[in-house]
């Protein structure tokens, strides 16, 4: 349970409100600046848990936050309201997400200048019905122009190799995290794990 913090953030342009939120919580925000353009935050005044404060701040903006394990968060378009998926559809979507992760990890490992293990990056990926990437947005920089170019190249030519199942939520949030000290990235492995969560 996160301890409540005191917030006093007036309604204002969303980008500056997110800066104020980051100052108050110490949490990093990853987002495409175009998402914040023309959007106004709600005022947040009082004592709230950081997650609750952020939800209040984003209310009515059409955006939502996905929190990462390191307490940073990614700003994404809020999913459109939909009825609850049937169990089989949810299971298929979960399985497909695992395939997306494994295929992307393979693509990064095969792309010169984008081999994962030392950098942290987040991206939103839109997958066409055929399984190819129709659009992507890299959120921030991996640290160097060369790395960013390699990652963009891998995303641009990325294909899941399987059609998108019905009800699969998009865009897909992909998070690539650096490996812990002493852990070697298994890019040479023939079988890639279908882990839940971000690409690792």
Q: pLDDT digits over 13-54, tens only?
A: 999 999 999 999 988 888 878 888 889 999 999 888 888 889
Q: What percent of the chain is predicted at pLDDT more than 90?
A: 25
CB atoms within 10 A of CB 157: 12
pLDDT higher than threshold 60 for residue 100: yes
- Could you tell me which of 161, 114, 112, 155 has the C-alpha nearest to residue 134? 155
Q: pLDDT digits over 157-195, tens only?
A: 888 888 888 878 888 888 887 765 444 344 654 333 333
pLDDT higher than threshold 80 for residue 11: yes
- The pTM (predicted TM-score) of the whole model is 0.56
Q: pLDDT digits over 66-93, tens only?
A: 877 777 888 888 765 444 444 567 777 7
Q: Dig out the tokens for 175 from the structure.
A: 């998070």
- Could you tell me which of 51, 81, 82 has the C-alpha nearest to residue 66? 51
Q: pLDDT digits over 117-139, tens only?
A: 788 888 899 999 989 999 999 98
CB atoms within 10 A of CB 29: 19
- 147's enclosing H/E stretch is helix 145-156
């Amino acid at each position: 349970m996160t301890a409540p913090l005191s917030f006093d953030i007036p309604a204002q342009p969303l980008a500056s409100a997110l800066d104020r939120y980051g100052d108050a919580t110490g949490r990093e925000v990853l987002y495409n600046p175009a998402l914040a353009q023309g959007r106004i935050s709600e005022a947040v005044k009082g004592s709230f848990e950081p997650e609750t404060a952020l939800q209040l701040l984003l209310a009515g903006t059409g955006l939502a936050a996905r929190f990462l394990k390191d307490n940073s968060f990614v700003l994404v378009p809020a999913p459109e309201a939909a009825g609850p998926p049937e169990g089989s559809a949810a299971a298929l979507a979960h399985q497909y997400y695992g395939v997306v992760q494994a295929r992307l990890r393979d693509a990064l490992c095969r792309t010169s200048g984008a081999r994962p293990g030392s950098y942290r990056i987040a991206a939103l990926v839109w997958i066409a019905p055929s399984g190819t990437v129709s659009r992507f947005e890299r959120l921030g920089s991996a640290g160097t122009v060369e790395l960013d170019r390699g990652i963009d190249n891998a995303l641009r030519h990325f294909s899941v190799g399987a059609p998108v199942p019905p009800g699969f939520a998009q865009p897909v949030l992909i998070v690539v995290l650096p490996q812990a000290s002493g852990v070697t990235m298994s890019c040479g492995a023939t079988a890639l794990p279908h882990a839940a969560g971000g690409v690792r």
